[in-house]
Structure 1
Amino acid sequence: MKGFQLRDARPEDAPAMAEILTDWLTRTPWLPNLHTPQQNRAFCGKLIDQKAVTVAEQDQHVVGFLAQRAAEIDALYVAQGAWRQGIGHALLSAAKAKHARLELWTFQANLEARAFYACEGFFELRRTDGQDNDEKLPDIRFAWERTPT
């Protein structure tokens, strides 16, 4: 496993973040791709401007990111070539260190994410038919709570 470090995102990270996002969207056949790569880049720039964004950097390249607004995780993506190296876990651990409770949405069809969040201690709060998300896909609301010590 190559080493990586976490740091706060900078505006110049938006293109690398967008590349990770666009790659995932392109490789996910059940997910409608509603945005161009340029729109994904603008979206990532907006995340950096409006949210707390942590990036994982490996060999001076952004290989993952987590965006959150307070205790709401809005995005968590890891580059495919960096999967299973502890990056997603490290990004979530950093978010958990700041909050006693976290919540997020993921699509019901995203079985890998669902399994990952379950391993990270998240539990299901509710399911929807997806009519309130842009993709119109069924989704699941997850939460995590710090256990009292």
Structure 2
Amino acid sequence: MNVLLRQAHPTDAGRTGDILHGFTRDNDWMPNLHSGAETIAFCGTMIARGWVTVAESDGQVAGFLARDGALIHSLYMSRGLRGQGIGARLLAQAKAQSDRLELFAFQANPGAARFYLREGFVEAARSDGRGNDENLPDIKFVWSREARET
């Protein structure tokens, strides 16, 4: 599979929003707090801020990573393209551009936890969910270049 990583364009908001909203629809433990249109608008805001890198396969957005400095806000793939190394490629690019990264994953998503641990992140903290919009318990993961080099 040929995958191109590129900075998101404003016209990518619809597809990235569909991917993000699709994750909510695909997981019954995830509360549906926003409409599809609101999710697209949110992705448009992240794109306008310059946070979003998309992975494009066969001319279509297959997934995306949204990062503000060291904080990864979102890393999502299209349902049919999960588990094919695209998320790892997006993370590798973010690692190449930063000495430290951090993110939160929901405890109800053990696949994400396994993925981040496999990609060199370490668990730094757990919460009961009071600090996130979804009110779901989460895990803070941290990656640092320094920790990987020692």
TM-score higher than 0.5: yes
Alignment length (residue pairs): 148
Displacement over 6 Å in runs of 4+: none
Q: What's the CA shift string for 1:12-66, capped at 9, x where partnerless? A: 0000001111111101110101000000000000110124210000111001000
Q: What's the CA shift string for 1:68-110, capped at 9, x where partnerless? A: 0001101000101111221000000000001111000111111
> What is the match of residue 136 of structure 1?
135
Q: Which amino acid aligns with 1:29?
A: D
Residue ranges of structure 2 left out of the alignment (5+ in a row):
none
Q: Which amino acid aligns with 2:35?
A: T
> What is the match of residue 7 of structure 1?
6
CA distance in structure 2 between the partners assigned to 1:148 and 1:26 by the alignment: 39
CA distance in structure 1 between the partners assigned to 2:133 and 2:23 by the alignment: 17
Q: Which amino acid aligns with 1:104?
A: L
CA distance in structure 1 between the partners assigned to 2:113 and 2:28 by the alignment: 17
TM-score under structure 2 normalisation?
0.96
Find the residue that maps to 2:113 and give its secondary structure: helix
CA distance in structure 2 between the partners assigned to 1:51 and 1:134 by the alignment: 23
> What is the match of residue 69 of structure 2?
70
Moved more, 47-56 or 31-40: 47-56
TM-score under structure 1 normalisation?
0.96
> What is the match of residue 29 of structure 1?
28
Alpha-carbon shift at residue 148 of structure 1 (Å): 2.6
Q: What's the CA shift string for 1:92-144, capped at 9, x where partnerless? A: 00000011110001111111100100100110100011011111111111001
Q: Which amino acid aligns with 2:67?
A: Q
Backbone CA RMSD of aligned residues: 1.0
CA distance in structure 1 between the partners assigned to 2:50 and 2:139 by the alignment: 22
Q: Does 1:148 align with 2:146?
A: no
Q: Which amino acid aligns with 1:85?
A: Q
CA distance in structure 1 between the partners assigned to 2:83 and 2:130 by the alignment: 32
